[in-house]
């Protein structure tokens, strides 16, 4: 008998990713993630820490509460990305590409880094009364996350998700986008800035990564994809 490992979560109904979308995503991961970290932190950092496997599925993983899972990280070795069969319709819109895919990759990679080197426990004390586990997707939390000192509704789930959301949203969006987020009336910008300081110090002290440089490189490389300067369909294997 031959047993094949099933990489999918059996708690969800999943469908395969289309080949053309999987090829596009492979190029996106290479250009926007692997080569980004090579440029910012060096190849040794990327080889030592970036996951060696991406598992792609075609549909989103839907939960019973109406939310769906964009991706997961497992054991520092694998990142699962869902919804690949919708990639083409979101590919040429930078905000949508970020929201559904790129931010997810950097979010999950943050979890991998945190599993290797934990961040300061004081991070969670900034908004320690604000974590609501699975209630993040219900009101009033879904619409009042900025007032509560969080960069997204999902960041309210746990301090681990808060850390990953703070970093991933910061590095995948422009400075103007970030400043506008914190300028929303009622936003508890002081709490968000305090948590960003922890994130910034952690990445610099633990990994030698300047998150402002990381952001500028991601934005530049994303523009290269959106402007069609990077081939996403080439299947030539490089030696």
Across 13-38, average pLDDT: 88
Q: How confident is the model at residue 172 (pLDDT cuts 50, 70, 90)?
A: very high
Greatest mean pLDDT range, 19-23, 57-61, 100-104: 19-23
pLDDT above 90: residue 35: yes
More confident residue, 100 or 188: 188
pLDDT above 60: residue 1: no
Any bridge partners for residue 71, and if so which?
81
Across 47-67, average pLDDT: 79
From residue 76, alpha-carbon distances to 54, 122, 155, 168 in Å are: 11, 24, 21, 17
Tens of pLDDT, residues 70-127: 667 666 577 888 888 888 888 777 788 888 888 888 998 999 999 999 999 999 999 9
Quote the CA–CA distance of 120 and 64 in Å, as a whole number: 34
Lowest mean pLDDT among 76-80, 174-178, 202-206, 231-235: 76-80
Angle of helix 189-207 relative to helix 211-226, nearest 10 degrees? 100
Q: Say if residues 184 and 231 touch (Cβ distance below 8 Å).
A: no
Q: What is the largest distance, in Å, between two alpha-carbon atoms of the chain?
A: 63
Q: How confident is the model at residue 176 (pLDDT cuts 50, 70, 90)?
A: very high
Please tell me the pTM assigned to this model: 0.85
User: How many other CB atoms are there within 10 angstroms of residue 155's CB atom?
Assistant: 27
Quote the CA–CA distance of 12 and 2 in Å, as a whole number: 24
Across 139-160, average pLDDT: 96
Predicted local confidence at residue 91, as pLDDT = 76
Closest by CA to 195, choosing from 148, 125, 147, 139, is: 125
Predicted local confidence at residue 83, as pLDDT = 84
Lowest mean pLDDT among 126-130, 131-135, 216-220, 222-226: 222-226
Q: Supply the mean pLDDT for the chain.
A: 87
């Amino acid at each position: 008998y031959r047993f094949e490992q099933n990489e999918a979560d059996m708690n969800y109904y999943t469908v395969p990713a289309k080949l053309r979308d999987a090829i596009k995503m492979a190029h996106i991961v290479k250009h926007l993630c692997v080569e980004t970290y090579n440029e910012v932190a060096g190849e040794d950092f990327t080889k030592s820490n970036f996951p060696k496997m991406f598992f792609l599925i075609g549909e989103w993983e839907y939960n019973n509460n109406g939310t769906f899972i964009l991706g997961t990280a497992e054991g520092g070795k694998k990142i699962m990305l869902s919804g690949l069969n919708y990639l083409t319709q979101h590919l040429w819109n930078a905000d949508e590409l970020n929201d559904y895919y790129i931010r997810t990759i950097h979010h999950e990679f943050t979890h991998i880094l945190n599993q290797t080197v934990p961040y300061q426990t004081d991070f969670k004390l900034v908004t320690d009364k604000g974590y609501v586990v699975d209630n993040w997707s219900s009101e009033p939390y879904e619409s009042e996350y900025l007032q509560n000192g969080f960069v997204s509704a999902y960041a309210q789930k746990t301090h681990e998700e808060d850390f990953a959301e703070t970093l991933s949203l910061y590095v995948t969006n422009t400075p103007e986008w970030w400043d506008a987020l914190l300028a929303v009336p009622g936003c508890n910008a002081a709490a968000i800035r305090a948590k960003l300081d922890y994130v910034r110090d952690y990445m610099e002290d633990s990994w030698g990564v300047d998150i402002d440089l990381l952001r500028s490189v991601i934005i530049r490389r994303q523009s290269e994809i959106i402007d069609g300067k990077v081939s996403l369909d080439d299947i030539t294997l490089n030696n």
